[in-house]
Structure 1
């Protein structure tokens, strides 16, 4: 028959094993701290999978309680993974690059203005040089131009014939020009084409040979023209016939060619026109020598 043994009696605690049994206030504070630790643990577990750095100190360190019962602040040390450090370095390099780009963009307008100013200054200097050169050449050319006048203007033949439908004219004319080279340069005349007209009637054309004129020389240029059976209007023919009989015909003589001369060791040839306009036959006969206009850069 088995004997029933009485249950072992609990040893009386001396009061130092569990402080919560001795100090009720400490038990309530301990429960509050445990609750705070559970909430912090849940927050860390939920944010552990996120991107960025996480703090491991909260998992391995317990909150410290001051003597007055309040929680003391603690230092948190963040542990960063190598991948996140590379991303931060990349972001910093990108930000620094964008800062450099902004600085370069700020400097670009100043560089552009300086470039425009230098270009404008260079072009201005080139234009001034060209202008001065052109003025020098122009003054030198004008000083080198010969003086041209008309010394003879005579019709050796002028008659008209009626056809079945038109009025035909025959004319022979001789014009003499005087060319004076009054400067110290040698002039070079290219072959020239001469045309003579009066009262809207073409009196003929002549091809002249080129020649050279020495400084201080006077040259007489003869221009004979010939016209055969040319159709003319009755009004123009009548006007020319009446004026020629009175030696009051008005004639236009025009020569086209090139005039050359030496300038700074170079031989320059410029297109030139010698225009003797509205020359009165009576003035030539009286020895007035009507002057002609010598034009360069003209055709």
Structure 2
């Protein structure tokens, strides 16, 4: 006779023991920080900056062209109008030659512009015969209005200046034959004046070679070079 089963006994067939739940963990390494791609806003900023620069350059070019058309600027022109010798002599003392000279140099400044004038200052002129200085002079500051011609007088002189014997005799011979050619150098500063506006100082230089009193009186103008705004210009002055 089978033994009685204890109370609470389940008559169903026994089940296999349950295995404990296994938790799987990722085997790959943790994610590395991703590289940030260049922002598109930087490219956009560079593009807009380039566009603005191009627009600004174009605007300045248009303004410059409009100003040029409105003013039609013409640089001042200079001309050696007259060259007069009041005195010229070469004296011999103690087997040496001494030069005495007095030259009246007149230089014409012409302003052809009809919208602005010029202001000149620190004007000075030097006169040479070959490499021998015949003196220099200065001219006071003056304002030249538009469409104006002004003549500047530079009285250059030397008294008893020692010269080389060969050069002294050559100059005296050419002076008597009216063939003595002089070189003239004129320096100064100018400003451009438009109503109440004035530019900064601009240095200019005039250099003339072969200036001859007799040739000028015959209407033969010497060849001159003007250096203005840092650029040389060849003119008949």
Task: Please give the alpha-carbon distance, in whole angstroms, between the structure 2 residues aligned to 1:114 and 1:272.
Answer: 48
2:99 counterpart of 1:150: no
> Which of the pair has the greater relative contact order for Cα pairs under 8 Å at 6+ separation?
2
Q: Distance in 2 between matches of 1:208 and 1:127?
A: 42
Larger radius of gyration: 1
CA distance 1:155–1:247, shift in 2 (3 Å)? same
Q: Secondary structure at the match of 1:253?
A: strand
- 2:6 match: none
Question: Relative to 1, partners in 2 of residues 1:177 and 1:113: Cα closer, same or farther, differing over 3 Å?
Answer: same
SS at match of 2:73: helix
Deviation at 1:173, TM superposition (A): 0.9
Query: In the alignment, what sits opposite 2:105?
Result: 175
Q: Distance in 2 between matches of 1:291 and 1:250?
A: 12
Q: Deviations over 1:191-223 (max 9, x none)?
A: 311111121111111121011223333222111
2:212 aligns to what?
A: 280
Q: Residue deviations 1:16-40, cap 9 Å, x none?
A: xxxxxxxxxxxxxxxxxxxxxxxxx
> Aligned pair count?
212
Q: Structure 1's 138 and 275: CA in aligned 2 closer, same or farther, altered over 3 A?
A: farther
Counterparts of 1:59-208 in structure 2 under 5 Å?
Answer: 61=19, 77-78=22-23, 91-92=30-31, 95=32, 97=33, 99=34, 101=35, 103-104=36-37, 107=38, 143-162=73-92, 167-184=97-114, 185-208=116-139
Confirm or deny: 8 A CA contact 1:160 1:170 kept in the other structure.
yes
CA distance in 2, matches of 1:230, 1:127: 58
Change (3 A) 1:154 1:135: farther
Unaligned runs of 5+ in 1: 1-59, 63-75
Could you tell me how far 1:239 is from its partner in structure 2?
2.6
Deviation at 1:165, TM superposition (A): 7.5
> Contact 2:117–2:194 (CA<8 Å) still a contact in 1?
no
TM-score, normalised relative to structure 2: 0.68
Q: Distance in 2 between matches of 1:260 and 1:245?
A: 42
Do the aligned partners of 1:149 and 1:291 also contact (CA within 8 Å) in 2? Answer: no
Counting only pairs closer than 5 Å after superposition, residues 263-274 of structure 1 correspond to structure 2 as 263=194, 266-268=197-199, 269-274=201-206
Q: Which runs of 5+ in 2 are unaligned?
A: 1-17, 232-237
Please name the residue that 2:3 is paired with.
none
Q: Is the contact between residue 90 and residue 172 of structure 2 (CA under 8 Å) also seen in structure 1?
A: no
Is 1:210 aligned to residue 141 of structure 2?
yes
Aligned Cα root-mean-square deviation (Å) = 3.9
**Which is richer in helix?**
1
Which has the larger share of strand? 2
| Equivalent position of 1:257 in the other structure | 188
